[in-house]
Structure 1
Amino acid sequence: MIDSILAWAGEHHEQAVWLVPLLAFMETCVGVGLFVPSLMLVIVTSVFYANDWANLWVMATMAMIGSSLGDHVGYYAGRAIGHRVHGWRIIQRNAERWERTETMVRRYGVWAIFIGRFIPAIRSLVPAMMGVTEFERARYTLFDVAACSLWALGLVAIVKGAHTLFLPS
């Protein structure tokens, strides 16, 4: 799949940069994020940077916005469905992951937003859990944007580090 994405991007440089926020959104959006590996975003961003198809800081900003939008979809979905999720089959099949996430959210509160942002296995579940636990909306947005910004800086560090390691000047 990544080969197809990169092949298309190679032919459509100007439009391809929009894959960055799309992939960031998909990897963080509740449900979808369980099936979209975060490595795809790192690879796409690295290839775009290495080929000078897009500015790294622009891509990091776009990734931050896409990831925060994905988080907010999860948060508001969690607020809308509340505790009814425990009866869903998909939650029951992933009960251990859901329980770990719920425990982390209740124990760490605000820090769960930051911790969850950097753990791919639960990244898409934490925002929904924050909504389910009815964490205050304004505080959620503030801390989510901060966590996504820090995460975007991490993306810059990974891409620059990989570029330096594999393509030294």
Structure 2
Amino acid sequence: MPIEQWLEAIPPLLVYVIVGLVIGLESLGIPLPGEIVLVTSALLASQHAELSPLWIGVWASAGAIIGDNFGYLIGRRHGPRLFVWMGRKFPKHFGETQLEHARRVFQKRGAWAVFFGRFVALLRILAGPLAGSLHMNYGKFLVANALGGVVWAGGTTAAVYYLGVVAEKWLKGFSYAGLAIAVVAGVAGVFVVKKRLAKAAEKAAGEEVPKEVTEPA
């Protein structure tokens, strides 16, 4: 069953909980489709009055922040063993090449990598565990993590929700097929913007930084 149909079939409170749980587990380091669940829920909220975009954004932000914090603590204590296990279980996501690239980004950009990493699929999963294993200062991590989680979750929810509302209003007299095409086009536009942000973050990560970013605890 598609995610949209599955979310439509359950009560609103359970939708919020699932959004927070999936994003929290993804932020913990488990490769789940957190962004797909968030976008689908926000789109449903634009079509069903009983779903609140505000609560979707709140639960998504909370899941992102809490998940990253647990990921940080796990990475701090069990970083090397964790990455070996993740590499065995999910080689396509956490092979040595991907991990080495992510490590370079964090070593050069530190807190900025945590913030902008929320917009990049691989870094979104690895942000917490990597920051912990590299012993990034927890205060800096916490601030960057919270800001990144709120901007990513809140911004994505608001953008998709209002795109859906506008599309439905403009196309009320047209067929549902036309509405579906417009909504898909709007969501695609959001992903294009997010892809450009991700490329900008990766480009910035490749620049040299004059001083060491990571600090001892």
Fold equivalence (TM over 0.5): yes
Counting only pairs closer than 5 Å after superposition, residues 1-169 of structure 1 correspond to structure 2 as: 1=1, 2-3=3-4, 5-9=6-10, 12-30=11-29, 32=30, 34-85=31-82, 88=84, 90-91=86-87, 93=91, 94-168=95-169
What's the TM-score once normalised by structure 2's chain length?
0.67
What's the TM-score once normalised by structure 1's chain length?
0.84
Residue correspondences, number: 164
| Contact 2:47/2:164, CA 8 A, preserved across alignment | yes
Structure with larger Rg: 2
Give the distance between the partners of 1:124 and 1:83, measured in 2 at CA.
Answer: 16
Q: Which amino acid aligns with 1:134?
A: H
Deviation at 1:130, TM superposition (A): 0.3
Deviation at 1:132, TM superposition (A): 0.5
Deviation at 1:145, TM superposition (A): 0.6
Specify every segment of 5 or more residues in structure 1 that has no aligned partner in the other structure, as ranges. Answer: none
Give the distance between the partners of 2:103 and 2:86, measured in 1 at CA.
Answer: 15
Q: What's the % identity of the aligned pairs?
A: 21
Give the distance between the partners of 2:47 and 2:24, measured in 1 at CA.
Answer: 22
Give the distance between the partners of 1:81 and 1:68, measured in 2 at CA.
Answer: 20
Give the distance between the partners of 2:165 and 2:46, measured in 1 at CA.
Answer: 11
CA deviations over 1:86-133 (Å, ceiling 9, x no partner): 6x2543731111111111000101110112100013211121110000
- State the superposition RMSD in angstroms: 2.2
Q: Runs of 4 or more off by more than 4 Å in structure 1? A: none
Tell me whether 113-122 or 14-23 shows the greater mean CA deviation. 14-23
Specify every segment of 5 or more residues in structure 2 that has no aligned partner in the other structure, as ranges. Answer: 171-217
